[in-house]
């Protein structure tokens, strides 16, 4: 199992690791998953990241876990009921497996769209991507022993980037591209 609590240089293999997980999930979930997307820092070429693959699965029936939850568990993922974020259902790898975070969200929801917009904006705006990387490194040095403070510390830059991303989306007519998986 790889320790995810560190920042490393972008690894071009991360997309392949995403596909290794996403393609079998696509088979298991079928039409229950409207989208399966590589999100988070590992999905952005050139961005330093914690070596954890984040996958967002967009579903039509978010509140009906009976449709898709058992299939994710069949894939070897564990539901994390203790997740405080009510905009997603959160699954993780079983102990001993490569770190993977699965975020199941309601298709068309603000949280689903915001995640895709943030990713797409950073993919096309290298200066903001670099600023984000520098801030992540600064925060990692400050809060190496306090994950919660590291995450909280990213809030201001994330919201500043999202404001720019929103303006860009309006000018460009952004909409999510095809699903990654």
The whole-model pTM stands at 0.94
pLDDT digits (tens, 9 = 90+) for 44-71: 999 999 999 999 999 999 999 999 999 9
Q: Is the pLDDT of residue 117 over 50?
A: yes
Q: Which CATH class is domain 14-172?
A: alpha beta
Q: Is the pLDDT of residue 2 over 60?
A: no
Q: Which pLDDT score, from 0 to 100, does residue 4 have?
A: 62
- Among residues 158, 156, 153, which one has the least CA distance to residue 41? 158
């Amino acid at each position: 199992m790889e320790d995810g609590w560190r920042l490393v240089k972008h690894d071009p293999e991360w997309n392949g690791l995403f596909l290794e997980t996403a393609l079998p999930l696509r088979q298991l979930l079928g039409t229950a998953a409207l989208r399966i997307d590589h999100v988070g820092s590992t999905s952005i070429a050139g961005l330093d990241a914690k070596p954890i693959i984040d996958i967002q699965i967009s579903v039509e029936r978010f509140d009906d876990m009976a449709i898709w939850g058992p299939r994710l568990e069949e894939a070897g993922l564990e539901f994390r009921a203790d997740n405080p974020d009510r905009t997603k259902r959160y699954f993780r790898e079983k102990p001993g497996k490569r770190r993977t975070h699965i975020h199941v969200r309601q298709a068309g929801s603000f949280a689903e769209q915001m995640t895709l917009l943030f990713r797409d904006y950073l993919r096309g705006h290298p200066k903001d991507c670099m600023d984000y990387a520098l801030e992540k490194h600064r925060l990692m040095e400050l809060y190496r022993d306090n994950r919660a403070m590291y995450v909280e510390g990213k809030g201001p830059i994330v919201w500043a980037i999202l404001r720019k991303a929103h303006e860009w989306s309006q000018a460009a007519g952004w909409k999510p591209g095809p699903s990654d998986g």
